[in-house]
Amino acid sequence: MKYTLIFLILLFTLLGCSKYSQVNENISDTSDQQVKLHITAYNPMILDWVNQIAGSKFTVESLIPYNVNPHSYQLGARDLIKISESKLIFSIGLNYEHSTFRKMLENNPDIKNVNLGEFISPIKFTDSDHEEHSDHEEHSDEEEHSDHEEHSDEEEHSDHEEHSDHEEHSDDQEHSDHEEHSDHEEHNHGVYDPHFWFDPIRVSTAIKIISSELSNLLPEESEYFNQKTDEYLAELEELDFYIKKSINKLPENNKKFLTSHDSLGYMSNRYDIHAVHSIIPNVNSDAGVNPEDLVKAVKIINDLDIKIIFLENETPNKSAETVAEETGINAVKGLSVETLTSEKESYIDFMRNNINIIIKNLNENYDK
């Protein structure tokens, strides 16, 4: 792994010397020859967000393919070429990306990378102590705080010009913030939860950042980007209403469950629903599970009368299935938390599918 990383860094540095040397595209449906600027999204989720605003104005590609777990994907030479040809990169940040990707950017500071997670008021991973979730009052306080915080954050970015101070949030700053989280655990997210896409209001903030950056690249198209942004923000507001309405139909006692790993914190933070514990605490392989984690999960299930655990498509589920077998709770498969499955699936499709799986199974399991 060490030598592979060194090779990729050297290759990436060499590629940087010849950046854009071969770019010369012809757009057949226009009278003039022009070159579409190339933008890279770290994963398909971000790709969908960028395409919603960019339309056909840019060439936008995802670094990670569809239906591939970002935590297990290894960057290769083609990915480095894609990065080197990019005018702009959008990533999640919050220590979400693979360490190889972060090191590449550190060694090539001329490549502009926008970490969207820096702008969405991130929440910290919880210690998943079930006592925190046993009383609904705390959740209500969190939700109220989240609503105020999110709306104030929206106001900060409501005009697509205030992002000019974005340079203050340098990539170097993010990495210094996370130096304490050593790279030997490449997929340990660290202190802050990067899964902010489970809150459509925070995604709205990320969309405004994307729109601002696209306008900076093509100022003559800023009116188009603003219009597309307004349209998509309306769709996200509708999604937020749909999720809230669906969850509010659940009886109060039907709103608690376990997950494979700590991925639904933002959903619990925004809505009246309780992901009370994760089998794998903020890491992304069973290597992060120890006997104490399993004992704690069993205790929480018994203390809170939990009846369901949601297994994730992208996460190893061996430990979660073991806990389900020992306690007799129902293990439900099908939840997707990290990526889109294909080009036909949008972020909004992704969210609706997940919330429908959660609501359906909470109703069925707690009504037994």
Q: Rounded to the nearest 5 degrees, what angle is found at the Cα of 192, between the Cα atoms of 189 and 196? A: 95
42 and 180 assigned to the same domain: yes
Taking CA atoms, 4 is separated from 7, 194, 289, in Å, by 5, 27, 27
200 and 255 assigned to the same domain: no
Note the pLDDT of residue 281.
62
pLDDT one-digit tens code per residue, 50-98: 999 999 999 999 999 999 988 888 899 899 889 988 999 999 999 999 8
Taking CA atoms, 331 is separated from 106, 257, 307, 338, in Å, by 41, 10, 9, 19
300 and 287 assigned to the same domain: yes
Structurally, how many domains does the chain consist of? 2
One-letter amino acid of 45: M
Boundary-marking domain end, from 242, 266, 287: 242
Structure tokens belonging to residue 42 = 């770290």
Residue 186 confidence (pLDDT) above 70: no
- What is the extent of the structural domain holding 277? 246-366
181 and 222 assigned to the same domain: yes
231 and 294 assigned to the same domain: no
6 and 133 assigned to the same domain: yes
Note the pLDDT of residue 243.
98
- d(Cα 296, Cα 190) in Å, to the nearest integer? 21
CATH number of the domain enclosing 81: 3.40.50.1980
12 and 158 assigned to the same domain: yes
One-letter amino acid of 290: N
Structure tokens belonging to residue 116 = 């969207």
- d(Cα 165, Cα 313) in Å, to the nearest integer? 38
pLDDT one-digit tens code per residue, 5-59: 555 555 555 444 444 444 344 334 433 335 789 999 999 999 999 999 999 999 9
- Long-range contact set of residues 287-290: C-beta below 8 Å, sequence gap at least 24: 288/185, 288/188, 289/319
Structure tokens belonging to residue 72 = 């297990």
Boundary-marking domain end, from 198, 213, 242: 242
Contacts of 317 (CB under 8 A, 6+ apart): 260, 311, 331, 333
Closest CA to 353 of 246, 231, 201: 246
- d(Cα 67, Cα 281) in Å, to the nearest integer? 23
* Spatial contact of 225 and 211, defined as CB atoms under 8 Å apart: yes
Note the pLDDT of residue 237.
98
The distance of Cα 71 from the centroid of its chain, to the nearest Å, equals 12
Query: From the CB of residue 360, how many other CB atoms can be counted at a distance below 10 Å?
Result: 12
Boundary-marking domain end, from 242, 260, 288: 242
Could you tell me the pTM of the whole model?
Answer: 0.76
Backbone angles phi, psi at 132, to 5 degrees: -65, -30
- d(Cα 190, Cα 232) in Å, to the nearest integer? 31
- d(Cα 287, Cα 301) in Å, to the nearest integer? 22
- d(Cα 368, Cα 364) in Å, to the nearest integer? 7
Structure tokens belonging to residue 53 = 């605003």
